[in-house]
Amino acid sequence: MLIIPAIDLKDGRVVRYTKGRLNKKVYSSDPVSVALDWQDQGAKFLHLVDLDGAFCGRQKNLKVIKKIVKKINIPAEAGGGIRDVSAIKKVIDCGVQRVILGTRAIEDIDFLSQAIEEFGQKIALGLDASGQRLGLRGWKKTAHISLKDYLRKLKNLNLKTVIYTDISRDGTLSGINLPAIKKVLNASQIDFIVSGGVSSLADIKKLASLDCVNLKGVIVGKALYEKRFSLREAIALTKNLKRRKKHADK
């Protein structure tokens, strides 16, 4: 299970919100140095979000994303306001490994299907939910379809990766919603990366200990920026748990 640091971009700066809209806090005016720091601490993958894009539907931080990707030696994914093929191409041209589709893919599953057909595994789906309610347009609106019903629709698509975020826990440092995560993981065979509420190494341990082969990573944001634990500590914990499991299985 990968530990994936999040870099949320608003007006070119690294920020974190609570539940996507509340209590914005700026952590850095130099996103590139933040990305390099996560890489130096052992990150194998980065999660980049253009919050301006998510709120208004047009990419506002593409230049920053491109600068980050050019400087780092690890892959990254990026999302936020990507709602047509032209936008997908622009983000891919920045050098990211995966483009995260959200609002448009939920409102128009044919668009998601066409994107997967054209761009293959470069497409990931972002499902942001509070309970069964799927958030749209920077979480300002709610989809008419439930999370459960939408996951059913994905069965016929050749989708590789879903990023599931618990809106009610995102940025709250209140701990993960393990029952909700288990339900999502068990509802589909697609590879999942989860996020929302991670507050301690105990949360990381709970996720790493799950017997779900389709859990591929956890995105961590505020807990790292607030120094609840270090990225190195989280990576070491998952490696140790993996070694123990291998030993137990022998």
pLDDT tens digits along 184-238: 999 999 999 999 999 999 999 999 999 899 999 999 999 999 999 999 999 999 9
Tokens representing 46 are: 């980065």
pLDDT tens digits along 21-74: 667 899 999 999 999 999 999 999 999 999 999 888 888 999 999 999 999 999
Taking only Cα atoms into account, the Rg of the chain, rounded to an integer number of angstroms, comes to 17
pTM of the model: 0.95
Residues 6+ apart with CB under 8 A from 59: 50, 52, 53, 80, 81, 82, 87, 90, 91
Instruction: Provide the 8-state DSSP code for 11.
Output: T
Tokens representing 244 are: 């123990």
Rounded Cα–Cα distance for residues 182 and 91 (Å): 31
Residue 25: name the closest of 36, 34, 17 by CA: 17
Residues marked active site are found at: 8, 128
pLDDT tens digits along 91-145: 999 999 999 999 999 999 999 999 999 999 999 999 999 999 999 988 888 999 9
pLDDT of residue 21: 64
